Structure 1
Amino acid sequence: MVYTLSTPDGYGYVVLVALGAIPLLSNIQGNVVTFLRKPAKVPYPNAYASHEQAKESQDAYKFNCAQRAHANLLENMPQTMATMLFAGLEYPTATAALGLGWVLARALYAFGYIKYNRRYGLGGGVFWLCQGGIWAMCCATALKML
């Protein structure tokens, strides 16, 4: 059985961001966590340094920040990727642009979170705006289908 799927021009950019750039960012952040684990002296399977370790060691605190920034990314990745792939069927250029903005803001957020602590997570508000815009276009696409 042959199935044909037609996508709008530019949909490939949506796929590149949703299934390329977002998983790449996750991989990079995961590698940062792995790199910071040894200096923090946090053995597997412990996900975080204890409160006492983090108070006594800047390395342990930094590891916890990296781990939390990555976990926050993982908490938001699935719905962002799914809504991008759907919204992009109707709004490919805007979806790809907001998705790329989301990736860049997430990278800045993680850098600031790890380097300075959560208060200075650069890009924090921006990725929420991008994610909200993608979600709104997803809803608009669904409404057009009704």
Structure 2
Amino acid sequence: MVYTLTVPDNYGYVVFVALGLTPLLAFAQGNVSGLLRKPAKVPYPNPYASEQQAKENQAAYKFNCAQRSHANLLENMPQTMIMSLFAGLEYPTAAAALGAGWLVFRIIYAYGYIQSQKPHGKGRLNGSGFWLMQAGLWGLCCATALKMI
């Protein structure tokens, strides 16, 4: 059986951001965490350094920040990818732009979390604009759904 799916012009950008660049970011952040594991002296299968290790060893603290940043990405990635793909059916340019903005803010978030000297990982807040991008995608999804009703 043959199925035909018609997508709007510029939908390729949505797919590129959602299914190309987003997994690439997850791969890159996973590698950063992996590279920071050895200096932190956190053996597998432990996902994080203990609180005591992080207090005594800056490398362990940095590893925990990288791990948490990556985990937060993985927690938000599925719905963002799905929202981009769905919203892009009606608003491809806006969905691709919001998705790209989401990636930029995620990079700023990770960099601030890992590299900032601010206590308690507060450097991550510089990239918290990704929440606005997600909210925009959610709004476009709602608008697309309403058009389908």
TM-score norm. by structure 2 comes to: 0.96
Post-superposition CA distance 1:26-80 (Å, at most 9, x none): 0000000000000000000000000000000000000000000000000000000
Q: Secondary structure at the match of 1:8?
A: coil
Shift of 1:123: 1.4
For the aligned residue pairs, the C-alpha RMSD in angstroms reads 0.7
Task: Quote the residue 2:75 is aligned against.
Answer: 75
CA displacement 1:63-111 (0-9 Å, x = unmatched)? 0000000000000000000010000000000000000000010001000
**Residue 31 of structure 1 aligns to which amino acid in structure 2?**
N
Q: Which residue of 2 aligns with 1:40?
A: 40
Name the amino acid aligned to 1:98. Answer: L
User: Is residue 136 of structure 1 aligned with residue 139 of structure 2?
Assistant: yes
* Matched-pair identity in %: 69
The 1-side partners of 2:53 and 2:73 are apart by: 24
Q: SS at 1:5's partner residue?
A: coil
- Structure 2 distance, partners of 1:120, 1:38, is 23
Stretches of structure 2 lacking an aligned partner (at least 5 in a row): none
Q: Which runs of 4+ in 1 moved over 4 A?
A: none
Q: For residue 86 of structure 1, what is the aligned residue in structure 2?
A: 86
What is the number of equivalent residue pairs in this alignment?
Answer: 145
Bigger drift between 113-122 and 25-34 goes to 113-122
Separation in structure 2 between the aligned mates of residue 65 and residue 3 of structure 1, nearest angstrom: 45
Query: Does 1:120 find its partner at 2:123?
Result: yes
Secondary structure of the equivalent of 2:98? helix
